[in-house]
A and B are shown apart, each in its own frame.
Chain A
């Protein structure tokens, strides 16, 4: 049973990976990567890494791929032109040689450790409890560094992708700012005289004027 599941997941993962590389439309590449990631999560489950498999599906196939889909939809599908680069032939050849060497090393090696099924399974191996204990004791420093790295990456992405002033005039924003406003509206800075009040439209005469002082209104003393 485990062998059948392994081969299904392995073929799915390899097929997804090949589709990522060969499909010409980037949108389909992203979808193929989602298939690949889900199949890889199945392989992780077969290796008793439940927490990592769940994180893979939720974080990778869920969040990161949504980011990709957004950017592909924003940039548009850029069709690649077929170029006569030498790397186009040499690249797959190099990868094929590397694959042959690595697979020979993995499957044909005399190492006894990788021939077995691994250490005997103990209950609770790979659960969030064990991973969390490790992350907060033995690997506390990498854990904290990872959080700082995430923060730096988030700030960096915002700085890189923000709308730069002067690069493209924003007509919509200018139009929105220049719309005349009715009277008795404005910001507190304008009311205090700290900022010059812009031109305001006088109120229509039939609109009820604000209540003069002396009236006993429940709003007295408020604004």
Chain B
């Protein structure tokens, strides 16, 4: 398959993730949608690495995976902290900072 097909799939996954971040209100699902967007970026990086025949893009993808794991850890910690304080788990309700 041509590289452009992989890039198209990556673009579609990114858009689905973006739509999820914009519409969903549960922070857990928003984190999942962020994962989708990061994975779309990973797919594009690996497709370009295949296109050029160098492994640099794959190293970038691995680093992106590390950063995504960190983001998940801190995000889930925040959700657990929100739950412990018995606040509503809903990003529209958590508007104390006027965000």
A126 to B46, CA, bound (A): 10
The reply to whether B55 and A131 contact each other, CB–CB distance below 8 Å, is yes
Q: Is A94 engaged at the interface, CB distance under 8 Å to the other chain?
A: yes
A117 within 8 A of B: yes
- Kindly identify, within residues 76 to 134 of chain A, every residue whose CB is under 8 Å from any CB belonging to chain B: 78, 80-81, 83, 85, 87-88, 90-92, 94-96, 98-99, 102-103, 106-107, 109, 113-120, 122, 125-126, 130-131, 134
Q: Are A131 and B9 in contact (CB under 8 A)?
A: no
**Inside 8 A of A192's CB, which chain B residues have their CB?**
none
Q: How far is the CB of B28 from chain A (nearest CB, A)?
A: 5
Residue of A21, A59, A102, A160 near B80 (CB, 8 A) is A160
Q: Would you call B94 an interface residue if the criterion is a C-beta within 8 Å of the partner chain's C-beta atoms?
A: no
The CA of A164 and the CA of B61, in the complex, are separated in Å by 37
Beta-carbon contact of A68 and B32 below 8 Å: yes
Chain A interface, number of residues (Cβ within 8 angstroms): 92
CB distance from A87 to the nearest CB of B (A): 5
- The number of residue pairs between A and B whose CB atoms lie closer than 8 Å in the complex comes to 251
Asked whether B61 lies within 8 Å of A52 as measured between CB atoms, the reply is yes
Task: Tell me the A2-54 residues at the B interface (CB within 8 Å).
Answer: 2-3, 6, 10, 13-14, 17-18, 20-21, 26, 29-30, 33, 36-37, 40, 43-44, 46-49, 51-52
CB distance from B53 to the nearest CB of A (A): 3
B13 near A150 with CB under 8 A, answer no
Which residues of chain B come closer than 8 Å to A203, judged between CB atoms?
none
The reply to whether B49 and A49 contact each other, CB–CB distance below 8 Å, is yes
Q: Are B58 and A153 within 8 A (Cβ)? A: no
Best-surrounded residue of A10, A18, A49 (most CB of chain B within 10 A): A49
Q: Which residues of A contact B26 (CB under 8 A)?
A: 26, 78, 80
A-B contacts, 16 of them at CB < 8 A, read: A29-B32, A33-B32, A36-B36, A47-B50, A48-B50, A51-B58, A71-B28, A74-B80, A75-B79, A78-B90, A96-B19, A114-B3, A130-B55, A131-B59, A146-B63, A156-B74
Since A114-B2, A118-B52 are in contact, a sample of 9 more A-B pairs with Cβ atoms closer than 8 Å, ordered by chain A residue number, is: A14-B9, A26-B28, A49-B49, A78-B28, A92-B23, A103-B12, A142-B59, A149-B70, A153-B69
Ordered nearest first, which 10 A-B pairs have the shortest CB separation? A119-B53, A91-B22, A95-B19, A102-B11, A160-B77, A153-B70, A21-B20, A157-B77, A99-B15, A161-B80
